[in-house]
A and B are shown apart, each in its own frame.
Chain A
Amino acid sequence: MYPFEYLKPADLQSAVKSASASGENKFIAGGMTLLPTLKLRLARPDRLIDLSRITELTGIRVEANRVEIGAMTRHADVARSAELRRALPALAALAGGIGDPLVRNRGTIGGSIANNDPAADYPSALLALAGIVITNQREIAADDFFTGMFSTALKSSEVITQLRFDIPKRAAYAKYPNPASRYAMVGVFVADTATGIRVAVTGAGPCVFRVALFEAALAKRFTPDALEGLSIPADNLNNDLHGSAEYRASLVSVMAKRAVAAALGG
């Protein structure tokens, strides 16, 4: 780790102000990606701005039709929220399957969304649920938020404050973990929402993406069988030590079916 200046502001305004100072500034939420990167000397920020003291960024609020989750809410809190488990069980279950207990006790939903790791779980939920990313500056629809591998629509001094989800009719997430890292090799989030069926895939490609083919099929008939014989091209999928692009393409179909089955209570 290289030396850096460490700030831990108590309110959002000072955090954002610090981020406009000269040099490379990094917000740190749970640090579950940033800290290992720093320890391996792969990043050299001048300043870390720790968001964990800003109380307005944490908490889960469940209303009749929607759920709001503060950006600094830890995975463990999302996983064990009784309200959320009733209102949006797919999201609570997803959070409970991230990393291990140590990661879940540190990692945050906002940090995961902002980092947009191609194998992270949360981006698939945000995209499939047509969630809204609320920042200190604006609201961004999920479809406009993820722009590529580790990149998002966030500007340099923009901070996610909240994530908002409309409660779907039904939804489920099915993950096939990478055997080594246990990140998603392929994770498929399927949601039956007010605006239609949405299927989002993480782990398989350089960035989370939707599968229009599956969505159309499921819109006609929301059963695993509806996806029988359907597959996505392997062309732009990840190909690494753990799985070829073809394997991932196959897993996308398999996990999508399993997610649909789970959403149906199977």
Chain B
Amino acid sequence: MSGTGFGASVPRVEDYRFITGQGRYTDDITLPGQAYAYVLRSSVAHGTLRRIDTSAASSAPGVIGVFTAADLQADQIGNLPCAWHTTNVDGSARFDPPHPVLAGERVRHVGEPIALIVAETLMQARDAAELIECDIDDLPAVATIERAIAPEAPCLWQQAPGNVAFHWRSGDLDATERGFAKAAHIARLDLINNRLVCNPMEPRTATGAFDGGKAEFTLYLSTQTPHIERLLLAKATLRAPESKLRVVSPDVGGGFGTKAQHYPETVLVLWAARRLGRPVHWAADRSEGFVSDRQARDHVTHVELALDAEGKFLALRVDTAANLGAYFSTFGPLICTFLYSSVLCGNYAIPVGCCDVRGIWTNTVPTDAYRGAGRPEAIFVIERIVDQAARDLGIDRAELRRRNLIRSDQLPWKTPFGFEYEPSDYPALLARALELGDYAGFEARRAQSKAQGLLRGIGISCYLEAGGEGPSALYLASGGGVGMFEGATVRVNPSGSVVVLTGTHSHGQGHETTFAQLVCERLGVPIEQVDIVHGDTGRVQYGIGTLGSRSLALGGSAIAMAIDKIIAKGKRIAARVLEASETDVEFQSGRFSIRGTDRGLAFQEVAFLAHAPAAWPCNEIEPGLEEKAFFDPPNFVFPAGAHICEVEIDPETGKTRFTAYAVVDDFGAILNPMIVDGQVHGGLAQGIGQALLEQCVYDPDTAQLLSGSFMDYTMPRADDLPSFTTDYINFPSPNNVLGVKGCGEAGTIASPPAVIGAVLDALAPLGVTDIAMPATPHAVWQAIRAAAQKGLAVPM
């Protein structure tokens, strides 16, 4: 489609400033008199903080202030809150450990903030930090789930024996046991979901300012969720009223979930700005990001799937230990419980299930949301166990899926974990993906590779995602602390240009383009006359922000609803001016007209009249043309689809190369196909990164981070990735105004099992049956060698 409306691939209007260096990120903003902060972090993973001597640092050149936990306490700065509650399976309350902004008595992970140094320059602050004397008595540390739950393991929190933070359950244990009792076959698998470091291109950055005269704070922050930041500052940490707090998140260079948390540095820059009467700026360098940005995934799971004699799924049992790190992060326990369970049954008609999750404390950086947040972990579990069942029973992987996929006539389908899937057609999505990936012709390609001494494999993944977070009712009933609706204001200026104020935030998603397209479509206004404003609590009334594939489904719906109100008011004005009945006025293609006549007014004329209301009394139609709307969805959206991944492995080096990658998605209505394709590609890059490349590694004995830079942490590069083939079969969502389903996380959710499935298929002739993520060349080589040593290999 051409034009600028719904369905048009409008080039991103924000790209001009990004690619010409005119983006404005937090670090680009320098306030008059700004001082520079450096955070001294713990270099040990676990220890008792005996003494901190800051005297030498305080008198170092350029130093304005050096602060520790004691200073925060004196000013009654609160601890960092956790916004998600879980109840233990036995009904008891979990223990919520205090999470101080600066460590006071004990440090629990490498990178935990200990002191804040503020100086005239960053160099001076760093120099002074080296003069701080810290006496820390080392305590034994644990980094991995396996070590943390072992008997005699060092304990992080006395009130959480065995390092178990909570034991959460969803589903019906008894019914699940009964399902397993009927099983003709039980497939079993132990899985690890590897820990990841998110690594947004722009490191976390914060600048705090305080206007002493008015006692007002302004915070510039690279965040996905400015209003949530303001709320948590007001309610939990800084404890200043929201009316005195303005949070601005200007251009943000990627969030991926890791910029949606309430971080210590956010509190510190504001508090220090008040203490010192100077704006205070802090920016993480890449090394700091590695030890302080919230990390992700890190599950150990045992999964069992019960099948009848025909290969029908009867019941699912999942037992997961989730590494929480050393503290509850803002949304940490949400990710590994509620969101994890949302799609744990995948796209399959599994009647009963039970999911147990134990949150585990370790001496590592806290874990939280990262693109997909719980759902990649879930889809990995279900897709891997389905592959395993197919292998056990000698049934083709596609065929076993076809037998068990929820049919379109079974939707909406309620899962054993309480989620209700919306209309789609999972068998059609799989069928199209198999066609696009030429599944039928694969064996011929495998033979060609074999002739060259290479191993070819094909992998299948069906997925769906509970996106569009989230329905407030479900969230609040399940452990959430805030409503999850989204708001918008649409303001029409006198000459007809339009400003949209949205509570969502764009940090790469292209909202300035897509949201403007909504306005073009609905009001007939040229795209150049539409401005999208986000990321400023001083301008936008309220919102939650951007995470969980929610911006268009919720934020876009709110915009559409506000536009409807604009049109309704426009009709009243037009009716008045045209001396017609309001019900006879229609609005089409930017024009209000009397039905069946050629009499009418352009949108711009009505906009002007709204601001020049001479023809009617103000108490009948208020002057101005501005409307506000809030949208709270009745349910999640459930984008769905299937991936077919084909790889070729060099058995000599273990290197995996992609030969093809086909994706078919149901995203409901698609607003901008080009941006949707881009979101799918980006998601795939991160999912493939998890499957083949990325691994956050801590030393098991000292809990020191070993993969602490890009020298050791493998970020996906362009030449690691194939060209993707994408297609869509879309079924509009009934759960929002626009019929959209959300596309931001899909690629990341579906790709890891597709890739690992392909790798295992390639290695199957050698007798390899399992491989952990990331399936690095070294890991593949080792798996081949181990199978050969056991004599499992079929000669090539």
Tell whether B697 is near chain A: CB-to-CB under 8 Å: yes
B401: min CB distance to chain A, Å: 31
A179, B776: Cβ atoms closer than 8 Å: yes
Report the nearest A residue to B130, measured CB to CB: A41
Q: Is chain A's binding surface mostly helix, strand, loop or mixed?
A: loop
B421: min CB distance to chain A, Å: 38
Q: How far is the CA of A55 from the CA of B697 in the complex (A)?
A: 46
Residues of A within 8 A of B126 (CB): 41
Tell whether A101 is near chain B: CB-to-CB under 8 Å: no
Residue with the highest number of chain A CB atoms closer than 10 Å, among B126, B712, B778: B778
A242, B776: Cβ atoms closer than 8 Å: yes
Cβ-defined partner of B777 (8 Å) among A40, A179, A241, A246: A179
Tell whether B652 is near chain A: CB-to-CB under 8 Å: yes
Residues of A within 8 A of B127 (CB): 2
Report the nearest A residue to B123, measured CB to CB: A1
Residue with the highest number of chain A CB atoms closer than 10 Å, among B127, B653, B695, B785: B653
Q: How far is the CA of A1 from the CA of B126 in the complex (A)?
A: 9
Residues of B within 8 A of A (CB): 123, 126-127, 287, 652-654, 693, 695, 697, 706-707, 710-715, 776-778, 781-782, 785
A243, B778: Cβ atoms closer than 8 Å: yes
Cβ-defined partner of B712 (8 Å) among A241, A246, A250: A241
B781, A247: Cβ atoms closer than 8 Å: yes
A179-B693, A241-B697, A241-B707 known; A254+B714 contact, CB < 8 A: no
The 7 closest A-B pairs by CB, nearest first: A180-B714, A181-B711, A254-B652, A243-B778, A179-B714, A247-B778, A180-B712
B710, A241: Cβ atoms closer than 8 Å: no
Count A/B pairs, Cβ under 8 Å. 43
Extra inter-chain contacts (11) besides given A243-B778, A247-B778, CB under 8 Å: A1-B123, A2-B127, A179-B693, A179-B776, A180-B710, A180-B711, A241-B707, A242-B778, A243-B777, A244-B778, A250-B652
B355: min CB distance to chain A, Å: 32
Q: How far is the CA of A255 from the CA of B762 in the complex (A)?
A: 22
Residues of B within 8 A of A250 (CB): 652, 781
Tell whether A251 is near chain B: CB-to-CB under 8 Å: yes
Residues A215-266 near B (CB distance < 8 A)? 241-244, 246-247, 250-251, 254
B705: min CB distance to chain A, Å: 11
Q: How far is the CA of A176 from the CA of B777 in the complex (A)?
A: 10
A-B pairs with beta carbons under 8 Å apart, 27 shown: A1-B123, A40-B287, A41-B126, A176-B653, A179-B714, A179-B776, A180-B693, A180-B707, A180-B711, A180-B714, A181-B710, A181-B711, A183-B711, A241-B695, A241-B697, A241-B706, A241-B707, A242-B712, A242-B776, A244-B778, A244-B782, A247-B781, A247-B782, A250-B652, A250-B781, A251-B653, A254-B653
Residues of B within 8 A of A243 (CB): 777-778
Q: How far is the CA of A254 from the CA of B784 in the complex (A)?
A: 15
Q: How far is the CA of A244 from the CA of B780 in the complex (A)?
A: 12
Q: How far is the CA of A181 from the CA of B709 in the complex (A)?
A: 9
Residues of B within 8 A of A41 (CB): 126
Q: How far is the CA of A1 from the CA of B778 in the complex (A)?
A: 35
Residue with the highest number of chain A CB atoms closer than 10 Å, among B287, B711, B713: B711
Residues of B within 8 A of A1 (CB): 123
Q: How far is the CA of A25 from the CA of B171 in the complex (A)?
A: 68
B787: min CB distance to chain A, Å: 15
A107: min CB distance to chain B, Å: 16
Report the nearest A residue to B707, measured CB to CB: A241
Residues of A within 8 A of B785 (CB): 246
Residues of A within 8 A of B781 (CB): 247, 250
Q: How far is the CA of A68 from the CA of B706 in the complex (A)?
A: 41
B438: min CB distance to chain A, Å: 29
Residues of A within 8 A of B714 (CB): 179-180
B778, A181: Cβ atoms closer than 8 Å: no
Residues of B within 8 A of A251 (CB): 653
Residue with the highest number of chain A CB atoms closer than 10 Å, among B287, B710, B777, B782: B777
Residues A1-22 near B (CB distance < 8 A)? 1-2
Residue with the highest number of chain B CB atoms closer than 10 Å, among A41, A176, A179: A179
A11: min CB distance to chain B, Å: 32
Q: How far is the CA of A41 from the CA of B123 in the complex (A)?
A: 11
Q: How far is the CA of A250 from the CA of B653 in the complex (A)?
A: 8
Interface membership of chain A positions 170-202, coded 1 if the CB is closer than 8 angstroms to chain B and 0 otherwise: 000000100111010000000000000000000
Q: How far is the CA of A254 from the CA of B778 in the complex (A)?
A: 14
Q: How far is the CA of A241 from the CA of B194 in the complex (A)?
A: 14
Residues of B within 8 A of A247 (CB): 654, 778, 781-782
Q: How far is the CA of A41 from the CA of B782 in the complex (A)?
A: 37
Residues of B within 8 A of A180 (CB): 693, 707, 710-715
B653, A181: Cβ atoms closer than 8 Å: no
Q: How far is the CA of A176 from the CA of B650 in the complex (A)?
A: 12
Q: How far is the CA of A241 from the CA of B695 in the complex (A)?
A: 10
Q: How far is the CA of A231 from the CA of B654 in the complex (A)?
A: 17
Residues of A within 8 A of B695 (CB): 241
Residues of A within 8 A of B652 (CB): 250, 254
Report the nearest B residue to A250, measured CB to CB: B781
Q: How far is the CA of A243 from the CA of B652 in the complex (A)?
A: 14
Q: How far is the CA of A181 from the CA of B127 in the complex (A)?
A: 29
Report the nearest A residue to B714, measured CB to CB: A180
Residues of A within 8 A of B123 (CB): 1
Residues of A within 8 A of B711 (CB): 180-181, 183
Report the nearest A residue to B776, measured CB to CB: A179
Residue with the highest number of chain B CB atoms closer than 10 Å, among A242, A244, A250: A242
Report the nearest B residue to A255, measured CB to CB: B653
Residues of A within 8 A of B697 (CB): 241
Residue with the highest number of chain B CB atoms closer than 10 Å, among A1, A180, A254: A180
B124: min CB distance to chain A, Å: 11
Q: How far is the CA of A179 from the CA of B126 in the complex (A)?
A: 32
A240: min CB distance to chain B, Å: 8
Residues of A within 8 A of B776 (CB): 179, 242
Q: How far is the CA of A135 from the CA of B712 in the complex (A)?
A: 34
Report the nearest B residue to A180, measured CB to CB: B714
B41: min CB distance to chain A, Å: 14
A41: min CB distance to chain B, Å: 8
